[in-house]
Amino acid sequence: TQLLEQSPQFLSIQEGENLTVYCNSSSVFSSLQWYRQEPGEGPVLLVTVVTGGEVKKLKRLTFQFGDARKDSSLHITAAQPGDTGLYLCAGAGVSDSWGKFQFGAGTQVVVTP
């Protein structure tokens, strides 16, 4: 079983501050996804990273995939209240059939005005 450890579990910051969420595993993933989920809704895909060392930017969000494809980070610059939500990382294992994902436990981010 490939486990994804996500940290921190909870993050409360003021508007304008930066934050980083981490996703780590001892196993290699063929790809890794980041999602954001708001209460009462389904997760929304933010990004997919597939290449070791890859960095992707989505406006104020920067996603990085570790060189060994075992870990990833999400960095938000100048956070806004609209960034509030549950952030989930999910990895597709190299040996998983049917594209089954391993999900991290999630990071609840709260950005206050």
- CA distance readout (Å), 70 to 63, 100, 109: 14, 16, 23
Q: Which of 35, 64, 79, 109 binds other proteins (CB under 8 A)?
A: 35
**Which CB, 83 or 106, lies closer to other proteins?**
106
85 DSSP β-pair partners:
109
Q: Residue 45, interface with other proteins (CB under 8 A)?
A: yes
Size of the site for other proteins (CB under 8 A): 25
Q: Residue 34, interface with other proteins (CB under 8 A)?
A: no
**Which CB, 44 or 78, lies closer to other proteins?**
44
Q: Are 51 and 65 in contact (CB under 8 A)?
A: yes
Residue 112 CA to residue 60 CA, distance in Å, equals 17
